[in-house]
Structure 1
Amino acid sequence: MAPSTGLTGNDLSRKQWAYALALVTSLFFTWGFAYGLLDVLNSHFQQVFGIDRTQSTLLQLAYFGAYLVFAPFASIFMERYGYKKGIHLGLSLYSIGAIFFWPSAKFAKYGGFVGCTFVIGCGLCTLEVAANSYISILGSPKYAAARLNFSQGFQGVASFAGPMIASRWFFQGKNANSLDTVQWVYLAVAGLGLVLNILFYFCTLPEITGDALAQEMHESGLTTDEEPFSKQYHCIFGWVAQTAYVGAQVAVAALAVNFLSEQGVGIDKPFASQLFSYCQITFTVGRFVGVVLLNFMDPALLLSIYSVACMAFSLGVTFGSGKSGVGCLFVLFFFESICYPVIFTLGTKNLGRHTKRGSGLIVMGVGGGAWWPPMAAAIGDHISTARGYGIPFAGYTIMAMYAFGMVIDQARNGGFRLRTIDEIADSREHDRPTGDKKETDSDLDKKVSQEFVEAV
């Protein structure tokens, strides 16, 4: 294979790696904030526009439908133009959609909010294809799930900031039936997108190419990317699992405020919104706990355990009542925490030259959030909100099947094949340019020993 002109995460200096990680991690805050506001707007618009639960989930349909429609275009765009330009495209769409919340609020047009939410979803979809993929390959594959959980933890921080803002201003006093504060919040969101766009324009973000990843895989004795993309079954089934999981997660969050306020334990809509933000805090804590656990446990095994827990506690919410139902909802948010990033890293590992396309497919799975909430909301309208939580149970079941399947597949294949010291030395000697006197044999021996220890 010809030498690659691109980089991999292992080619970056410590300073380059830390800077790239920090800047790309900042993107997770942007869509966490937007997502956190979305679920509260659901309930607020029911009151302002006089619509039922099912009609209010048009916001989810627009937001997550954008992922289903736009993710393939985002991955193609980044294959051609790279991660950095993809990030610029995503931030631009994000800001444009947020700006147009102003006229939608000014003229009180629910359809305008739905359209703007679709544009924001296209922007965030592009950012997710770029950021999730970039973080996953920015270093050792062994710790990809832990790295992505860490970065996505900041998405969780933003997710509970949104409901906290909403509980203070959207539902209080004269704002309970007004859209005035909505327009100001989204102008601030547009400003955040603009600032990030400027920061990325002036930064040097190392481009990690598919060719470089493919070369790194071949050096490691892995050749799975030589198969066509249609035969990357762990990625294709990962898309199915991600679609089911995100649909379940979004349905849980979309009905949370309604569920909490209907439990007959003295929780009104403003307090329910505040409790929802506490649920998001629980989710965020779970993300950082997951970072620690993933340093010691296999990601597929941990996902299997968490999937079963999600199934159990979603049933607890469905059939529980009062404080027990509220408690099950909090625990459910905790066990949801690691699912998205772990499915993403399991689905995109060892894709090599297919990495960007695979990332686009897995992110397209977020489109599951478009149709699962309406199904749950329809049950909520006709029976009860609690019974609507039976729909997420089905999504967690599909996710559990994928997780257990990956555990079995890894056990059958015996995991990664470790190279011997001689193989590592041969590849290092082969890669060293002729006449390069800067790297001595002693330096080479140190690198070989270090790489072998890290592999073990």
Structure 2
Amino acid sequence: MTQKIKLTEKQYLVTFVFVTSLFMLWGIAHSMSDVLNKHFQNVLNVSKSQSGLIQLSVFGAYAVMSIPAGIFMKKFGYKNGVLFGLSLFAIGTFLFVPAANATSFTMFRLALFILGCGMATLETVAHPFVASLGNQQTSDQRINFSQSFNAVGTIIGPAIGSYFLLSGNAEHSNDLDSVKTLYTAIGSVIACIAIAFSFVKVPAFTDAHEILEDDVKNPSFNTSEKTLWQNRHFVWAVIAQFFNVGAQAGTWSYFINYGHEVMGFTDATAGNYMIIFMAMMALGRFVGTYLMKFIQPNILLSFFSLGSIISCLIVAQAWGWTSYIALMFINFFFSIIFPTIFSLGLKSLGKHTQQASSFISMGVVGGAFFPLLMGLVANQNVAHAYYLPILCYVIIFLFAFKMYKVK
């Protein structure tokens, strides 16, 4: 990465700030769903594997919504795509009120599905949007920088969720009134952001994903017209993202259970440690964004995926604090994986960029299945469940080591 090219340009700054804030919003929502896992286990008397249906509802929405979101974005533009995503997001949060009134896990899952549709739309739009707000040579840094605030959101989510939903000192921590209050407040904030963004004038910009001159000079690069699926690096990005988000969702879903069952913490204490857990991801993203000035993104991705494999092996041994610290470091290493897979997968796709973003976002559906598989193992031994993500990180390493290359 050259240091002479700016992260973004002055005319894009206001838009860049608003779009970056979206990354923080869905970070809050994703991490709070992991607190909901434990809260619903307590209040609605669902098992660990049943609580994994929360992630199925949220991430399953990506399978349904990512492609329609890409079509909407291509037809109506980035800004309208953002507003559409925020609207679905807000509707999903407000539906928590009738779900709580009915004490219905099924209705909660429906609300989470609609909320997930909003997040799927935002992720489909926001990644190519941010990547386009500047030169393609800094798109990896730009996406990782914006994703750093997604990590900040994942710190805020457990902090809020643990206080309102798990703390024994909090009023209504053992019922669903706290869920209603919390998600109504979140929905109101999202609605306000949507209104504010509707008044932002987005400047014209050039697509940052045109075919690079360096790619054309590459003797292995085929300059003839190709369909999207003939781009091997894109196909592997979809596969890698599927397994990446599967590993992430499973790791997050049973963090509180690990703290409670392996470390002997109360639910509230384990929820508080989740704040540190998410802070590790924020730290990893800021560190990773800085290191990308000097280290190629794919090389850094290789080292971080190897770090995740080693950490999972240690966590699965249940060696007390040694394993718990390793669990924290899984999130540090996870930090740059999602945005780096996304940016490498979008390289040099030209007119296919927006459609490609839809499919890479659709890869997030991996998060719908892995918590269910890990939950089945966690019902017997929560530590041993952490063997499962190792397969995911092996596939990510293969993508980073070889399959990321534009052909």
TM-score band w.r.t. shorter chain? over 0.9
The amino acid that maps onto 1:100 is: L
For the residues of structure 2 that align with 1:193 and 1:226, how far apart are their CA atoms? 41
Paired position in structure 1 for 2:381: 384
For the residues of structure 1 that align with 2:214 and 2:334, how far apart are their CA atoms? 36
Paired position in structure 1 for 2:291: 293
Deviations 1:81-139 (A, max 9, x none): 11111111100000001111011112211111100000011011111111111112222
The amino acid that maps onto 1:364 is: M
Deviations 1:239-297 (A, max 9, x none): 00000010001100001000011124x41110000001110011111110111001111
Deviations 1:331-355 (A, max 9, x none): 1111110000000001011111000
For the residues of structure 1 that align with 2:381 and 2:35, how far apart are their CA atoms? 19
The structure 2 residue matched to 1:47, chosen from 42, 46, 50, is 42
The structure 1 residue matched to 2:54, chosen from 59, 78, 102, is 59
Q: What is the CA distance between 1:142 and its match in structure 2? A: 2.0
Verify the 8 A CA contact 2:61 2:365 in the aligned structure 1: yes
Paired position in structure 2 for 1:83: 78
Secondary structure of the 1:385 match is coil
The amino acid that maps onto 1:314 is: C
Provide the TM-score with structure 1 as the length reference: 0.83
Paired position in structure 2 for 1:100: 95
The amino acid that maps onto 1:249 is: Q
Secondary structure of the 1:312 match is helix
Gaps of 5+ in 2: none
| CA distance 1:176–1:187, shift in 2 (3 Å) | closer
The amino acid that maps onto 1:368 is: G
Q: What is the CA distance between 1:219 and its match in structure 2? A: 11
Verify the 8 A CA contact 2:237 2:399 in the aligned structure 1: yes
Paired position in structure 2 for 1:332: 330
| CA distance 1:227–1:284, shift in 2 (3 Å) | same
Provide the TM-score with structure 2 as the length reference: 0.93
The structure 1 residue matched to 2:203, chosen from 191, 202, 206, is 206
For the residues of structure 1 that align with 2:110 and 2:352, how far apart are their CA atoms? 32
For the residues of structure 2 that align with 1:267 and 1:13, how far apart are their CA atoms? 44
Q: What is the CA distance between 1:218 and its match in structure 2? A: 7.3
Q: What is the CA distance between 1:364 and its match in structure 2? A: 0.6
| CA distance 1:83–1:207, shift in 2 (3 Å) | farther
Verify the 8 A CA contact 1:66 1:367 in the aligned structure 2: yes
Secondary structure of the 1:296 match is coil
Verify the 8 A CA contact 1:83 1:207 in the aligned structure 2: no
Q: What is the CA distance between 1:315 and its match in structure 2? A: 1.0
Verify the 8 A CA contact 2:85 2:122 in the aligned structure 1: yes
For the residues of structure 1 that align with 2:139 and 2:224, how far apart are their CA atoms? 18
Secondary structure of the 2:364 match is helix
The amino acid that maps onto 1:84 is: K
Paired position in structure 2 for 1:111: 106
- Residues 78-227 of structure 1: pairs in structure 2 closer than 5 A: 78-173=73-168, 175-206=172-203, 208=205, 213-214=209-210, 217=212, 221=216, 226-227=225-226
Paired position in structure 2 for 1:445: none
Q: What is the CA distance between 1:175 and its match in structure 2? A: 2.9
For the residues of structure 2 that align with 1:201 and 1:276, how far apart are their CA atoms? 34
For the residues of structure 2 that align with 1:290 and 1:240, how far apart are their CA atoms? 22
Paired position in structure 2 for 1:447: none
For the residues of structure 2 that align with 1:218 and 1:321, how far apart are their CA atoms? 51
The amino acid that maps onto 1:386 is: A
Verify the 8 A CA contact 1:94 1:190 in the aligned structure 2: yes
For the residues of structure 2 that align with 1:263 and 1:357, how far apart are their CA atoms? 44
Verify the 8 A CA contact 2:136 2:209 in the aligned structure 1: no
For the residues of structure 2 that align with 1:156 and 1:343, how far apart are their CA atoms? 16
For the residues of structure 1 that align with 2:8 and 2:33, how far apart are their CA atoms? 39
For the residues of structure 1 that align with 2:23 and 2:224, how far apart are their CA atoms? 28
Paired position in structure 2 for 1:404: 401
Paired position in structure 1 for 2:280: 282
Deviations 1:343-395 (A, max 9, x none): 000101111100000111111111100001100010111x2000111111111
For the residues of structure 2 that align with 1:207 and 1:236, how far apart are their CA atoms? 30
Q: What is the CA distance between 1:224 and its match in structure 2? A: 5.1
Moved over 4 A (4+): 207-210, 216-225
Deviations 1:56-80 (A, max 9, x none): 0111001000011110111111111
Compare 335-344 and 392-401 and name the one that shifted more.
Answer: 392-401
Gaps of 5+ in 1: 1-9, 414-456
For the residues of structure 2 that align with 1:230 and 1:273, how far apart are their CA atoms? 42
Secondary structure of the 2:237 match is helix
Q: What is the CA distance between 1:195 and its match in structure 2? A: 1.0
Identity %: 36
Verify the 8 A CA contact 1:63 1:117 in the aligned structure 2: yes
Secondary structure of the 1:226 match is coil
For the residues of structure 1 that align with 2:165 and 2:224, how far apart are their CA atoms? 50
**What CA RMSD, in Å, does the superposition of the two structures yield over aligned residues?**
2.1
Deviations 1:188-214 (A, max 9, x none): 11112111111121111135576x854
